[in-house]
Amino acid sequence: NGHFIYETRKFHPNGETPKTGSKPVLLEIPTVHFENGINVLTIRSGSYSGWGGFPTYLKFGDYNKLQHQWILFMFRIFSIGFISLFLALYSFLHYILRKRETYYLWFSLLGLSIGCFTIGYHGFWYYAFDYSWAYYILTFMGGILMYLMPILFLQSFFGVRRNIIGIILTISFIGL
């Protein structure tokens, strides 16, 4: 209804989208801005790619209920992510003590990739690093390696020898 409420990033004066992402936001719209009858809520969005939009659907409703859902969602995502990161650190410490048992290394890299991807997929790396390249590297590298590490872990755990075809496929997968 013509009232400015919130801005995550400043748009350039010529209207260009800022070339960075933003943290997920829970926003309360003050009731003083509502009028009797039909109200208009206009949202101007942009993204690093310049296409704009939202990565997921918008939720409208009671602020306290939405905040409770948001906290539970964050708790679930961070729990899964930090458990994966803890298992990665724990397995890496075992690998340092037992370097001949390489499956500890592969399992630690598996936990690291799952933890990085899980935390980053919903944009939570922006809370730690307000930098889009950190988000891209941690999230997408975690997402790529998340599929490769179980294969390497199982090969190492069961003692399966890698042949030249398997090595070429592994290198080509990393190259994608």
CB atoms near residue 173 (< 10 Å)? 13
Residues 5-15 pLDDT 10s: 777 666 667 76
Contacts of 107 (CB under 8 A, 6+ apart): 87, 88, 91, 149, 153
Q: Tell me the average pLDDT of the chain.
A: 82
The stretch 47-75 carries a mean pLDDT of: 77
Contacts of 169 (CB under 8 A, 6+ apart): none
The stretch 77-91 carries a mean pLDDT of: 95
* Res. 18 pLDDT band, cuts 50 70 90: low
* Res. 106 pLDDT band, cuts 50 70 90: very high
Own/partner contacts of 140-143, CB < 8 Å, gap of 24 or more, are 141/113, 141/116, 142/112, 142/113, 142/114, 142/115, 142/116, 142/117, 142/118, 143/113, 143/117
- pLDDT at 127 exceeding the cut of 80: no
Contacts of 5 (CB under 8 A, 6+ apart): 27, 29, 30, 33
pTM here? 0.74
pLDDT on residue 42: 79
Helices 132-158 and 103-121: angle between axes, nearest 10 degrees: 150
The residue type of 47 is S
Q: Tokens at residue 115, please?
A: 């933890």
Query: Which of 75, 68, 61 is closest to 28 using CA atoms?
Result: 61
